[in-house]
């Protein structure tokens, strides 16, 4: 069978444990050209560890690993003395990485940083292209240590893209940025996808994932609990969220037309996930004419995330 030429990276049954404690278990993942795949999960779900494993920065093991059509040796079950499998220089030159914790020499200017990183790649982007990506034309001669936090983030993105990578890892790339800076980042990431790169994005901004991603991988306790396009995840778990006050019990409410999930949040208030809000409300009003405080909203990826993981909104960083 001929390999899928769109597939840049594919891994099957990837697992990782630290001090005999499982961190990732049985992860299957495929990254394709011109596609943004997002990783979501609560704190400690294994998002950054997954990126480290795919980059060969830890001693994860797996049944199958293909990178740019090259099958890597099968990963053996790790031991405490196990060593990570290093990627060849040729493979590394085709990968761009922006991790949460990144630092460069504080005394070098923006343009000096870009020129330094250009030397690591056979066909790097031009300085003009990189300054446009970062939006730091006015700060080109400013030292890294004098840049603002947002400007440093923008430079780190440009450094990740210096080598015209075909595979890009972005771990929380817009954390701490203001709204306009985040939207500028989005444009740069979309341009990278347009150029044909496969992108793996980790973000705790669910609106960002909804705006950018072609596919979403949700992790919890190191396992995949959902893997689908954002527009597929929402319908699967209800297109609408209905909030209302009702004296009906759970057994009756959960059987209302088109309802796929029903949760009571106290004081007789219910939160329903519904595939058809009109059908659900029609039957609900027939069975409970005293129904009140009705509110109907279209479901978002954030609501799907919370429904699947059962965590509070501030725990998914």
Interior angle at CA 50, CA 48 and CA 54, nearest 5: 120
Phi, psi of 121, rounded to the nearest 5 degrees: -125, 145
User: How far are the Cα atoms of 192, 302, 303 from residue 277, in angstroms, in the given order?
Assistant: 38, 19, 16
**pLDDT tens for each residue of 116-136:** 999 999 999 999 999 998 999
Taking the C-alpha atoms of residue 45 and residue 16, their distance in angstroms, rounded to an integer, is: 12
Taking the C-alpha atoms of residue 204 and residue 219, their distance in angstroms, rounded to an integer, is: 12
Q: By three-state DSSP, how is residue 300 classified?
A: coil
8-state DSSP, 37: E
* Tokens standing for residue 269: 């208030």
User: How far are the Cα atoms of 171, 212, 288 from residue 249, in angstroms, in the given order?
Assistant: 44, 40, 11
Domain boundaries, the chain: 238-298
For the ranges 28-42, 171-185, 257-271, 287-301, the maximum mean pLDDT occurs at 28-42
For the cut 70, the answer to whether the pLDDT of residue 287 exceeds it is yes
Please say whether the dihedral angle defined by the alpha carbons of residues 186, 188, 193 and 198, taken in this order, is positive or negative. negative
Of 192 and 220, the one with more pLDDT = 192
**pLDDT score of 178:** 83
**pLDDT tens for each residue of 104-118:** 889 999 999 999 999
């Amino acid at each position: 069978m001929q390999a899928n030429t769109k597939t840049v990276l594919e891994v099957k049954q990837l697992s990782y444990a630290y001090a005999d404690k499982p961190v990732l278990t049985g992860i299957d993942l495929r990254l394709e050209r011109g596609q943004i795949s997002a990783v979501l999960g609560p704190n400690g779900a294994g998002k950054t560890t997954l990126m480290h494993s795919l980059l060969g920065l830890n001693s994860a093991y797996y049944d199958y690993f293909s990178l740019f059509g090259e099958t890597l040796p099968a990963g053996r079950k790790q031991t405490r003395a196990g060593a990570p499998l290093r990627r060849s220089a040729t493979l590394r030159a085709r990968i761009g990485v922006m991790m949460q914790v990144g630092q460069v020499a504080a005394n070098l200017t923006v343009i000096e940083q870009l020129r330094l990183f250009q030397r690591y790649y056979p066909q790097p982007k031009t300085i003009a292209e990189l300054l446009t990506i970062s939006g730091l034309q006015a700060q080109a001669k400013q030292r890294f240590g004098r840049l603002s936090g947002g400007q440093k983030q923008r430079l780190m993105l440009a450094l990740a893209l210096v080598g015209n990578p075909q595979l890009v890892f972005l771990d929380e790339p817009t954390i701490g940025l203001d709204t306009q800076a985040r939207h500028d980042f989005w444009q740069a990431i979309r341009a990278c996808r347009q150029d044909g790169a496969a992108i793996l994005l980790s973000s705790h901004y669910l609106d960002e994932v909804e705006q950018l991603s072609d596919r979403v991988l949700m992790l919890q306790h190191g396992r995949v609990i959902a893997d689908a396009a954002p527009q597929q995840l929402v319908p699967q778990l209800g297109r609408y969220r209905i909030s209302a006050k009702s004296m009906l019990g759970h057994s009756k409410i959960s059987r209302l037309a088109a309802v796929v999930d029903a949760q009571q949040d106290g004081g007789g208030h219910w939160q329903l996930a519904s595939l058809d809000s009109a059908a659900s409300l029609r039957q609900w009003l027939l069975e409970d004419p005293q129904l009140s405080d009705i509110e109907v909203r279209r479901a978002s990826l954030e609501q799907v995330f919370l429904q699947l993981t059962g965590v509070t909104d501030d725990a998914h960083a």
